């Protein structure tokens, strides 16, 4: 694989990840006359939950469900220039024009009557990862080789973004399906370089720390061991990874992928671990699509250790979950879930694990 970095017409970076041994890519120029990016983002601290909230009002105007022939993630043609100037590509990563987080310009924002003065620029970086040129495909349709290339892109961008000043955590994820709120149907994901450690990560690190103090063990290793020994909720296994439905699954379809070796993030994986992950991940996604005989909407969230803290406590893992609970039925977060954070699952984790095992594509 080879990488080629270039710039779009408004100065945003674009990186091509090309497979094979062909000569180095000569980036096609961006023919668009784009105005400068005017994204504005700020962060405010919630004193009750002790969490940061990002406010990015410019995103109200982002591209929303364009027609197939107006997709900004398809390759450019002689008649239409898109976000990707090339007429063909394998995997591409570029800075999001409608980013939730922006470059820190050093501004100090005025107080607006908060209990704790906290208002500041939402500094960070948001990137789009395009999985291939086929507009009608999904990640589950990729070949193992292409899935491996996407994994390399996640890995390289995690490494690059982790080295940027002010970045505390790198989050790679995919939202798939309009039921999730996806506004572009072309197969793609995103990467957020965050200026803080996420609330969910902090809570999990606290749990891992308490488990170590209480038992002397590794929480993630103990969870994985329990799941593998019970085998009730294991969906699929590889040489280096196990996919299972967690015992306390919150969502009607939820699968976690754990590496057998404790590693903090994607760059820490060996080549063998990456090679094993690609086909296993595809297998799980195809089982999920086969579950109800239709494409399953899902969120795929990579949990990586923070850049500067808790790396000895955290463990890389992938969490997949869907809001679909049956054909024609979605799980909506209602009073208990949205109001109090108490999840109520309508299906037992053991049942969904069994059905996923039986849904081999």
Instruction: List, by residue number, the catalytic residues.
Output: 188
With tokens 């990563």, the residue in question is 93
Nearest Cα neighbor of 183 from 251, 103, 302, 96 is 96
Beta bridge partner(s), residue 44: 53
Distances (CA, A) of 228 to 136, 177, 265, 355, 356: 36, 31, 22, 18, 16
3-state helix, strand, coil in the chain (%, to 5): 25, 25, 50
Q: Are 54 and 122 in contact (CB under 8 A)?
A: yes
Q: How far, in Å, CA of 202 to CA of 340, rounded?
A: 19
Instruction: Look up residue 55 and give its two tokens.
Output: 């406010």
């Amino acid at each position: 694989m080879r990488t080629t970095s270039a710039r779009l017409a408004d100065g945003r970076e674009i990186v091509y990840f090309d497979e094979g041994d062909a000569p180095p890519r000569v980036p096609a120029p961006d023919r668009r006359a784009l105005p400068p990016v005017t994204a504005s983002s700020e962060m405010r601290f919630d004193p009750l939950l002790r969490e940061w909230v990002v406010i990015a009002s410019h995103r109200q105007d982002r591209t929303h469900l364009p027609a197939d022939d107006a997709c900004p993630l398809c390759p450019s043609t002689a008649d239409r220039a898109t976000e990707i100037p090339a007429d063909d590509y394998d995997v591409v990563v570029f800075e999001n024009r409608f980013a939730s987080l922006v470059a820190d310009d050093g501004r100090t924002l005025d107080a607006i009557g908060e209990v704790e003065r906290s208002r500041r620029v939402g500094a960070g970086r948001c990137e789009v990862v395009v999985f291939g040129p086929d507009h009608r495909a999904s990640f589950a349709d990729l070949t193992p080789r292409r899935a491996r290339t996407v994994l390399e892109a996640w890995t390289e961008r995690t490494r690059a973004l982790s080295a940027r000043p002010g970045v505390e955590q790198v989050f790679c994820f995919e939202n798939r399906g309009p039921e999730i709120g996806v506004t572009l149907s072309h197969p793609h994901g995103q990467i957020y370089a965050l200026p803080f450690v996420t609330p969910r990560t902090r809570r999990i690190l606290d749990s891992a720390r308490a488990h170590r103090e209480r038992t002397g063990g590794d929480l993630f290793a103990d969870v994985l061991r329990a799941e593998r020994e019970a085998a009730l909720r294991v969906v699929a296994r590889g040489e280096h990874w196990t996919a299972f439905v967690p015992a306390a699954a919150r969502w009607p379809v939820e699968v976690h992928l754990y590496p057998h070796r404790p590693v903090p993030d994607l760059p820490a994986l060996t080549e063998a671990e990456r090679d094993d992950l690609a086909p296993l991940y595809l297998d799980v996604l195809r089982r999920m699509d086969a579950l109800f005989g239709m494409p399953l909407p899902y969120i795929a969230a990579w949990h990586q250790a923070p850049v500067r803290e808790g790396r000895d406590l955290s463990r890389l893992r992938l969490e997949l979950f869907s809001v679909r609970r049956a054909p024609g039925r979605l799980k909506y977060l209602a009073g208990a879930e949205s109001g109090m954070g108490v999840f109520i699952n309508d299906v037992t984790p053991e049942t969904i694990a069994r059905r996923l095992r039986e849904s081999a594509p």
